[in-house]
Amino acid sequence: MLTLKNIVVKYGGIQAVKGITIEAEEGSITTLVGANGAGKSSCLCAISGLVPLAAGEIWYKDKRIDGIKPAEILRLGIAQVPERRGVFPRMSVYDNLMSGAYLRKDREGIQRDLERVYQFFPILKDRRRQMGKDLSGGQQQMLAIGRAILSNPKFLLLDEPSLGLAPLVVDEVFDVVQKFAQSGYGVLLVEQNVNLALTISKRAYVLELGHVALQGDPHELRNNDHVRKAYLGI
C-alpha cells in the first residue's frame, strides 16, 4: 500500500498541493485525473522524493518515505516514468534500458527483466542499438517504461503516458500497464485521457486546484455529471 496523508507541496509562495490524501494498492491501477495545475504531477514527484513536502506524510507499506533520498525510494521499489519520457537521446536503447538497473547487482534478475521488457515491447529489441533520439514518441514512451521496469519496482508512477501518442500506440502502452498491474504490481497513473484512465483503473481521484474533489469507483465517476461535463466532454 502506498499512502499519501494530507500532503502539501509548495513551489516558493505557490501551494500546488493542498492537503491531499490518497491510497494506492499493489496489484491494481489507481488513477489521478484533473486539469493542468491540479497537482497531479506534484504528487508523483513528492512520492519519488524529487520535491519536498511542506506538510503531511507519505508511507509505503510500513515505512514513512517522505524526506528520504530519491535513490533510496527507488531502492524500496517505487519507480517513476516522467512526463515527456526523459530518455537519454545519445545513448542506445539498450543502454537506456540498462541505466534503469544501475542500483542492482543481480545479473540474472536484470537479464530476466530485460527479456520481459522485450516481450512487452518487441520493437525495443529490434532497435536496441539505435539512439534514443531516433525513436518515435511512442517508442520513447515504451523505452521509458522499460527503463523503469529494469529497476525491479513494485510500484510504477506513470505521468501522462499517452501524451502526444497515436491511438494505436496508446492502446499498446496501456495494455502493458494493465499486464503489469495484473502481475501483482501497483500503478499510480496520472493521465490526460480521462475516459481511458477511468476504464482501466480500480480506484480514481479527481484533483482540482490542489485538492481531491472526488474519489471512488472509476465506473461511478464516469457517470458523475461533473466529471462528464468537465473531463469527458459530455
Closest of 27, 35, 78, 69 to residue 49, by C-alpha: 69
What local confidence, expressed as pLDDT, does residue 169 receive? 87
What local confidence, expressed as pLDDT, does residue 37 receive? 84
pLDDT tens, 3-56? Answer: 999 999 999 888 999 999 999 999 999 999 988 888 999 999 999 999 999 999
Contact 93, 100 (CB under 8 A): no
What local confidence, expressed as pLDDT, does residue 36 receive? 85
Q: What are the b/e assignments for 164-173, b being 16+ CB within 10 Å?
A: ebeeebbebb
pTM: predicted TM-score of the whole model, two decimal places:
0.91
Q: What are the b/e assignments for 104-124, b being 16+ CB within 10 Å?
A: eeeeeebeebbeebbebbebb
What local confidence, expressed as pLDDT, does residue 42 receive? 94
What local confidence, expressed as pLDDT, does residue 83 receive? 81
Q: List, in sequence order, every residue forming a beta bridge with 5; answer none if it has no partner.
A: 57
Domains of the chain: which residue ranges? 1-77+154-165+187-234
What local confidence, expressed as pLDDT, does residue 234 receive? 61
Please give the C-alpha separations between residue 187 and each of 39, 54, 176, 184, 193, in angstroms, as whole numbers.
18, 25, 11, 10, 16
What local confidence, expressed as pLDDT, does residue 78 receive? 96
What local confidence, expressed as pLDDT, does residue 3 receive? 96
What local confidence, expressed as pLDDT, does residue 207 receive? 93
What local confidence, expressed as pLDDT, does residue 143 receive? 93
Residues of the chain with pLDDT under 50: none
Q: CATH topology for 1-77+154-165+187-234?
A: Rossmann fold (3.40.50)
